[in-house]
């Protein structure tokens, strides 16, 4: 038999590390992973209906759509609390939605200020809902070409100005690396760490990973999860085709083992499906009607696949 491929070698190393760690300290692995779901992909569907779908499939947390772009936009705190109470679902965090209109890296001071104000509004709501994190994208999604060579410096300075708001609310800033086909800044875990260092604020230090983007931008998904380590507060899930788990070629067992190794089964840390499809600008889903039968099946398949593979991993 020939030599194993590099990805097979690395996956085998992660498996051995998982088995060794579990044998050494089994109590660390007793708690299972909290599964959330990013609901912005359900578009204009009322939150209550989205939460009912999650509850039917045994999901206990929700990643809200960060839709408070202005003082008058987005779902109100009262309405959100009512929908949550009806299902018993808790808020894991919110997916920050950054476009050219609210771009931390923009040369326009108006766009940067809109991004700063947007973050502060989201933090106030998330704190009231006792959430854990807000996803921050350092540049506009859907604009893969850099405007100039100063984007990183502008973005870091703009996010730094939000540092005290993160500190006072206790919400974690989860910087998300996204594939180069969608954004101009921060494509890998290493990029995210460098960006966090450039921001240079003690309240800003976490990462939101995404296995779809990792499959395109990292040498090995499991290794990228290990590299993110304790910084990783949330991990988005989708298969390699950006569809439901189990429909592509994702090595989900290795993803789950790596997640356990970095403590993603701790309270306040989440794995969150976000299967969107391979759009250059996936925000198209955020502003359209929800295809209910499609989304019902997407959730059902993904949750069933994840729970099945998590059970296999936990039985090792």
Is residue 174 a part of any domain in this protein?
Answer: yes
Supply the angle between the helices 189-199 and 221-228 in degrees, to the nearest 10: 20
Domain of 157, CATH number, reads 3.20.20.150
Sign of the dihedral through C-alpha 67, 69, 75, 77: positive
Q: Supply the pLDDT for residue 287.
A: 81
Instruction: Note whether residue 28 is domain-resident.
Output: no
Domain assignment present for 166: yes
Query: Which CA distances in Å does 200 have to 11, 157, 161?
Result: 33, 9, 10
Model-wide pTM > 0.85: yes
Q: Is residue 13 part of a domain?
A: no
Six token digits for residue 116 = 């700063």
Mean pLDDT per 10-residue section of the chain, whose length is 316 residues: 90 98 98 97 95 98 96 94 97 97 98 98 98 98 96 98 98 98 97 98 98 97 98 97 95 98 98 80 77 93 98 98
Residue 71 falls within a domain, yes or no? yes
Number of structural domains found in the chain: 1
194 in any annotated domain: yes
Question: For the residues of 197-254, what is the DSSP string, one character each?
Answer: HHH--TT--EEEEEHHHHHHHSS-HHHHHHHHGGGEEEEEE--TTSSSTTSS---HHH
Phi and psi dihedrals of 91, rounded to 5?
Answer: -90, 125
261 found inside a domain: yes
Residue 183 token pair: 């954004």
How far apart, in whole angstroms, are the C-alpha atoms of residue 158 and residue 86? 38
Residue 22 lies inside a defined structural domain of this protein? no
Domain limits for position 93: 33-290
């Amino acid at each position: 038999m020939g030599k194993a491929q590099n990805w097979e070698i690395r996956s085998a190393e992660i498996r051995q590390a998982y088995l060794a760690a579990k044998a050494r300290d089994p109590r660390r692995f007793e708690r299972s992973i909290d599964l959330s779901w990013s609901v912005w992909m359900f578009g204009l569907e009322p939150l209550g209906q989205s939460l009912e779908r999650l509850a039917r499939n045994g999901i206990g947390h929700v990643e809200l759509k960060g839709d408070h772009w202005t003082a008058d936009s987005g779902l109100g705190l009262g309405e959100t609390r009512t929908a949550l109470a009806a299902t018993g679902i808790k808020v894991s965090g919110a997916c920050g939605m950054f476009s050219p209109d609210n771009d931390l890296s923009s040369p326009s001071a108006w766009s940067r200020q809109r991004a700063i104000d947007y973050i502060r509004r989201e933090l106030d709501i998330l704190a009231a809902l006792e959430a854990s994190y807000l996803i921050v994208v350092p540049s506009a999604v859907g604009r893969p070409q850099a405007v100039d060579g100063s984007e990183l410096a502008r973005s870091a300075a703009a996010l730094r100005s939000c540092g005290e708001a993160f500190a006072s609310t206790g919400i974690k800033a989860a910087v998300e690396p996204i594939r180069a086909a969608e954004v101009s800044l921060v494509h890998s875990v290493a990029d995210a760490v460098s960006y966090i260092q450039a921001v240079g604020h003690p309240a800003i230090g976490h990462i939101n990973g995404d296995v779809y983007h990792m499959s395109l931008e990292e040498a090995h998904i499991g290794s990228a999860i290990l590299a993110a380590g304790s910084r990783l507060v949330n991990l988005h899930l989708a298969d390699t085709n950006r569809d439901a788990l189990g429909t592509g070629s994702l090595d989900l067992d290795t993803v789950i083992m790596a997640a356990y190794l970095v403590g993603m089964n701790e309270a306040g840390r989440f794995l969150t499906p976000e299967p969107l499809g391979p759009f250059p600008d996936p925000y198209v889903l955020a502003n359209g009607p929800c295809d209910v039968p499609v989304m019902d099946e997407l959730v059902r398949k993904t949750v069933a696949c994840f729970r099945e593979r998590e059970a296999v991993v936990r039985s090792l």
